[in-house]
Structure 1
């Protein structure tokens, strides 16, 4: 669900009371129940990130307040008022999740959506990452959407601790929290520097979050995020392709060539790698090597129309003198 609305927190006590009365006997918190049925807990019993800042929300503006909270925790000095124009939708009296994520990217931060689970949420908090969450504090038929930030938990007392509304240290039971969080399909967001991987991060989701930075022209941040991916998952071809494509598009072909030279022994069976390597070599003035790289790719995938076109293009330039003294001598199967 991408749409979120916010209600003045002065209404929350009554709304919560109404919700609990109407839902008593049918409300469930399946993940909390499963958590306490385990023989051992997946996280430390108690964690609280006391240094997470707090911005009391103004009317209808829990989105800007929650985002300011996590951005300032990342040492980015910004106020809710500064964020409001980019994420607050007056006619909806609230904010959209997508706008919250987009605003975070404008500050060069990765907006990483965690797995929809209590485990992932608790593990991120344990690792020192506050989690921005979307809750429905009302009913499914009468939603009261609300952004808050989870900053701690106490498993012994089954308590969740949040920066929420006008309360710096809002405490609620894990089961009550889950009931409100479940109604947003367990949507949770970690805002982090591109060089810092969330503890529950998974490769496909991280790579997409990195590309989202590139798509809004946050090129330096995207580079850092791609480098984080290549360090964490060096066996993943697409992480390297994303990094070298970024360098190529930015005219940093020397950097791209350096990367390809260091990884092709590991990816010599990838036609796509050879294709892209050919274009980087050509850009660096290594025309004969570019033709050879394209041929290596075509041998692996002879019916690939894109590679056929690449070979034809590189062949037409292969008679040109190389402009670089140290162009590589390529073999299709590096030792």
Structure 2
């Protein structure tokens, strides 16, 4: 008898990767949804008794879905599949009733073993090659390259967030990455910063590798700079308002960890320059004016990390030169195929 399976993820690439990673001899009827509200509706409509659930999505996220499944006693077994690999995220989803947590990028062997452990799947013995599977996501024309880039950034963001969470002993709320192609003059306008009354400090770090060049730009609200210094272990006497060491340390941690995770997924390595302070205690427009780009177009990935319980927020921008777009798209076209462990 076919098993109804719901795959819930806001990324079309992630949905296809999840579908390809399922055991080929598992008889399933798949339903794809893009957000938590649609997921709950599909469960209530009886479209799936097994749910593969992303955590970070616009609107109702995975935590909200789990809360409703538990509260309404909905007939669904939920496996969380996420790039948010913080230990606290794992503990929270289990407390909310998830069967287990599977980290992105999905490993088909881990997935198959997890399904067997919970009695959801038994191998038929007819092999696992799925000859009717859709094309590899990286080269699939139905998956826009920006969407593939967003999912790669989502996983790298989770790795960087996990490193920072462990270092500071906090839980970090992770956003949905925002990917845009902008004119240099549009950079300030595109930033998801709504508090225009605060002053900001900024650090930038250049990076390059495999024909891809750009800058990581960390923007930090000065209202909580002392809290950041304390979390990083700086003595109170060093927490003067003009102290830039915490910002430089945070930049090296965040930009370095993101680029490692970003490059590993595409089999690329990036060299990283020393962090440079753009300015401190400035209006956001003045701060960005201190970083002038010769590029006509800038490919941007924006991430807003929020440290829970400390009212602490920072924006991490990855800015890629227009000449980097072609090598990036080439790298995305050769992403590993999750169903085989190989490339497209």
Instruction: Verify same fold: TM over 0.5.
Output: no
With the length of structure 2 as denominator, give the TM-score of the two structures.
0.26
- Which protein, 1 or 2, shows the higher relative CO under an 8 Å CA cutoff with sep ≥ 6? 2
- Asked which structure has the greater CA Rg, the reply is 1
With the length of structure 1 as denominator, give the TM-score of the two structures.
0.26
The answer to which structure has the higher helix fraction is 1
The answer to which structure has the higher strand fraction is 2
